[in-house]
Amino acid sequence: MSFLSLKRSNYYLVLLYRLVIVLILFFLCRILFFLLNPGLFPGITFSGWVRIFKGGFVFDIAALFYFNALFIVLSLLPLAIRTSDRYQQAIKYIFYFMNGLAVMLNCIDFIYYRFTLRRTTRSIFGEFSHETNKSKLAGRFLIDYWYVVIIFIALVALMIWLYNRVKIQKANPPERRMIFYAHSIIALPLAIVLAVGGIRGDFKYSTRPITISNAGEYVKSPNEMYLVLNTPFCMVRTWNVKRLSEMHYYSDEEVEKIFSPVHHPKTDSTKSFQKKNVVIFILESFGKEAVGGYNKDLDNGTYTGYTPFLDSLMGVSKIYWNSFATGRKSIDAIPSILASIPNGQDPFVLTPYASDSTFTLPKILREKGYTTSFFHGAPNGSMGFQALVNLLGVEHYYGKNEYNNDNDFDGIWGIWDEPFFQYFASVLDTMQQPFMGTLFSVSSHHPFKVPAQYKGKFKKGPLPVLECINYTDMSLRKFFEKASHSEWFKNTVFVISADHSMINYHPEYGTLWGDVAIPILLYSPGDSSFHGLDQGVIQQTDIMPSLLSYLNYDKPYVAFGENVFDKNRLNFSVCYGGGYRWIEGDYLLFFDGEKTKSLYNYKTDRLFKDNLLDKKPEIVVRMERNLKAFIQQYNNRLIRNQLTVNKNAR
């Protein structure tokens, strides 16, 4: 007999109690996960544990809703029979099965984590798909780690015992049917709203469902992410993510000769490292099409674009005419720019490899004594940026919370660009040099509004985003006007890039080339020699190695981009979108993952009307060879966690 028997009026308390059981089980699994692997998580402080448990609760809530969605819906259906014995028995076994499965997944990682140093994801099914002795392997595992089996049985027994401690009192169909159906009809959609918030991590408009990389927000070291995460969550969030496969187009020795992401800088030994400040702007949806300075030939030479300030800055900046994004999403841009890690078939931050050890631009500059910061005017945690930049080694995050003035909030995405850019300049004024600051803009985004005081002030075009781009361009001009009076200004190298392109309206930008074309400007106001136009290729992943070269960094590191100041570079760009777009020199090759489908000269054939696949076989062979070497290096290094150079080499 249970120690508590609740009436139907307390039905929702019973449901809440049952869900709390799940959170208790997840909490115990996290503790056991650590206790069985303490040597893998050294040096965690008390405050570190507070952050881990706080983050763990967020991910446990998400996993709870993923695994108990059916149980919750069945528990809340506005049906009078839901309190009957048979109905309750049925949903009880659904609860047992789903949460028993969740507990089992956690228990597997008590041991399996030791071999992979990652929480188990869907990729495990592919990893063992070709094994012919799966049953023997499983049996061996159960024998060798018998104590995990006992722990699993004990946790399931605890779940069953706790579940049966509180029972719903059997009830006849409610006498006050209207009241019953009224609160029942309200309860179900309310639960759906709570589930959406739980899966997203909060209720902010700008937040997406949390993913594996969001665990980085709560940790100091990447390996601690796996104490924050739980395996049921990781399994669900990677279910539709295509796992990477190791590629073996070439031997390990041969692929290094074709393409190697390991950079061995050729620095000037007579010069020391330049401790110049680094300021990076990542402008939301600033497609190259919007920038007049790149498009003087459009509209029969009458096109002026929507970025008059950016146009003027091009005249005093280092420009590489063929500049590209490595992806089509905002979350692709940050790892590309700050770590020289592009997206593959899926955004890097959504893969299980997001916690790989990395040696990023912020980490390198911190070793050189820099203060590093990231500014994003959206509510803190939006888009998972705060967690991501923490993993990439950024020390200080400044978001809407730090700005602390909702009068400048656009009502949806974040603080308007103009005041937030001014805030960026003001905070940089307070930082000790050298520093690195990165700002990600927010205003050139749906629903494409500008502040009320600027309505009708900016140039409009055929796309609503263009008015917003014009506004952000003005915000950028005002930032430079303010910053130019600061003591640090001339000791700074600026990088201005977009995160990705925008919807096109000129046919020249509706091609495989055009929808990844973005502006990338390198500007150093204290260096009169640092300007000019180069007809070569630059992509977001080139920013990190190029900056390190300019600063005269002399130690080896891993970067999938190139130093654009190296005249012997391969001169390429790569992006995955339904297939690989490999740009090298004057040509764009499209490779579907198995074979090349097309080749275009994007300089002479801007509308991509002439497929040169059969006309330029020697170029196809060379470009496909380089691309395959790149794919092999990217896939294999992520899978093997080889995104850093051996510490002894540094």
Answer yes or no: are the C-beta atoms of 356 and 638 closer than 8 Å.
yes
Q: For the chain, give the number of residues.
A: 650
Evaluate if residue 566 carries a pLDDT over 70.
Answer: yes
> How many CB atoms are located within 10 Å of the residue 80 CB?
15
Tell me what the pLDDT averaged over the chain comes to: 89
CB under 8 A, 24+ apart: contacts of 8-14:
8/83, 8/168, 8/169, 8/171, 8/174, 11/83, 11/168, 12/187, 14/166, 14/167, 14/168
Q: For the segment 372-387, what is each residue's pLDDT rounded down to a tens digit?
A: 999 999 988 887 888 8
Query: How many Cα neighbours within 13 Å face the side chain of 235?
Result: 19
User: In the sheet where 596-601 sits, what is the strand order?
Assistant: 572-576, 580-584, 587-591, 596-601
Q: What is the mean pLDDT of residues 439-446?
A: 92
CA distances from 524 to 316, 431, 519, 529 (A): 9, 19, 16, 9
CA distances from 388 to 281, 335, 347, 394 (A): 17, 8, 12, 9
Q: What is the mean pLDDT of residues 445-469?
A: 92
User: Nearest-CA neighbor of 572 among 589, 552, 558, 556?
Assistant: 589
Please give the Cα distance from 590 to 146 (Å, whole number): 51
CA distances from 475 to 299, 400, 405 (A): 27, 17, 18
Q: What are residue 586's phi and psi, to 5 degrees? A: -95, 0
Query: How many Cα neighbours within 13 Å face the side chain of 305?
Result: 22
Please give the Cα distance from 165 to 127 (Å, whole number): 41
Q: What is the mean pLDDT of residues 521-542?
A: 94
**Strands, E assignment, 441-478:** none
Question: For the ranges 172-186, 471-485, 499-513, 577-591, which has the lowest average pLDDT?
Answer: 172-186
Angle, helix 85-116 to helix 46-76, in steps of 10 degrees: 150
Residue 9 is predicted with a pLDDT of 41
Evaluate if residue 211 carries a pLDDT over 50.
Answer: yes
- For a pLDDT cut of 70, what percent of the chain falls above it? 92
CA distances from 484 to 425, 470, 505 (A): 10, 21, 35
- For a pLDDT cut of 90, what percent of the chain falls above it? 67
SS3 at position 432 = coil
Question: For the ranges 212-221, 334-343, 399-408, 552-561, which has the lowest average pLDDT?
Answer: 212-221
Domain with CATH 3.40.720.10 in the chain: 260-526+536-565
Residue 116 is predicted with a pLDDT of 67
Answer yes or no: are the C-beta atoms of 28 and 106 closer than 8 Å.
no
CB under 8 A, 24+ apart: contacts of 154-160:
155/25, 155/28, 155/29, 155/103, 155/107, 156/96, 156/100, 156/103, 158/25, 158/28, 159/21, 159/25, 159/96, 159/99, 159/100, 159/103, 160/96
Please give the Cα distance from 421 to 76 (Å, whole number): 48
Please give the Cα distance from 483 to 476 (Å, whole number): 10
SS3 at position 232 = helix
Please give the Cα distance from 298 to 139 (Å, whole number): 68
Residue 460 is predicted with a pLDDT of 92
Secondary structure in 3-state letters for 145-203: CHHHHHHHHHHHHHHHHHHHHEEECCCCCCCCHHHHHHHHHHHHHHHHHHHHHHHHCCC
Q: What is the mean pLDDT of residues 322-346?
A: 91
Q: What is the mean pLDDT of residues 172-199?
A: 74
Evaluate if residue 106 carries a pLDDT over 80.
Answer: yes
Q: For the segment 418-430, what is each residue's pLDDT rounded down to a tens digit?
A: 999 999 999 999 9
Please give the Cα distance from 39 to 113 (Å, whole number): 12
Please give the Cα distance from 615 to 252 (Å, whole number): 32
Q: Residue 447: is the preceding peptide bond cis (ω within 30°)?
A: yes
Q: Residue 434: is the preceding peptide bond cis (ω within 30°)?
A: yes
> How many CB atoms are located within 10 Å of the residue 264 CB?
12
Residue 445 is predicted with a pLDDT of 84
Binning pLDDT at 50, 70 and 90, where does residue 237 land? Answer: confident
Q: What is the mean pLDDT of residues 246-267?
A: 94
User: Nearest-CA neighbor of 347 among 442, 445, 244, 446?
Assistant: 244
Q: How far is residue 490 CA from its own chain's centroid?
A: 32
DSSP 334-388: HHHHHH-----SS-GGGSGGGGS----HHHHHHHTT-EEEEEE-SSTTGGGHHHH
Answer yes or no: are the C-beta atoms of 332 and 347 closer than 8 Å.
yes
Please give the Cα distance from 535 to 444 (Å, whole number): 28
Q: Which residue has the tokens 């020795």?
A: 253
Q: What is the mean pLDDT of residues 104-110?
A: 94
CA distances from 606 to 7, 298, 515, 610, 623 (A): 73, 12, 12, 10, 19
Tokens of residue 421, six digits? 């850019």
Q: For the segment 599-622, what is each residue's pLDDT rounded down to a tens digit?
A: 999 999 999 999 999 999 999 999
**Strands, E assignment, 445-566:** 492-498, 520-523, 532-539, 557-558
CATH code at 260-526+536-565: 3.40.720.10
User: Side chain identity at 347, as an amino acid letter?
Assistant: P
CB-neighbour burial class of residue 110 (10 A; exposed 0-12, middle 13-18, buried 19+): buried
Question: For the ranges 244-253, 420-429, 580-589, 641-650, which has the lowest average pLDDT?
Answer: 641-650
Q: For the segment 25-38, what is each residue's pLDDT rounded down to a tens digit?
A: 999 999 999 999 99
Residue 133 is predicted with a pLDDT of 54
Q: For the segment 37-70, what is each residue's pLDDT rounded down to a tens digit?
A: 998 888 899 999 999 999 999 999 999 999 999 9
Residue 7 is predicted with a pLDDT of 42
Residue 130 is predicted with a pLDDT of 42
Tokens of residue 62, six digits? 């998400």
Beta-bridged to residue 4, according to DSSP, are 166
CB-neighbour burial class of residue 33 (10 A; exposed 0-12, middle 13-18, buried 19+): buried
Please give the Cα distance from 182 to 188 (Å, whole number): 11
Q: What are residue 504's phi and psi, to 5 degrees? A: -90, 160
CB-neighbour burial class of residue 154 (10 A; exposed 0-12, middle 13-18, buried 19+): exposed
Please give the Cα distance from 117 to 225 (Å, whole number): 11
Q: For the segment 314-332, what is each residue's pLDDT rounded down to a tens digit?
A: 999 999 999 999 988 888 8
User: Nearest-CA neighbor of 550 among 522, 519, 520?
Assistant: 522
Please give the Cα distance from 625 to 84 (Å, whole number): 67
Instruction: Indicate the pairing of strand 435-440 with strand 371-376.
Output: parallel
User: Side chain identity at 573, as an amino acid letter?
Assistant: S
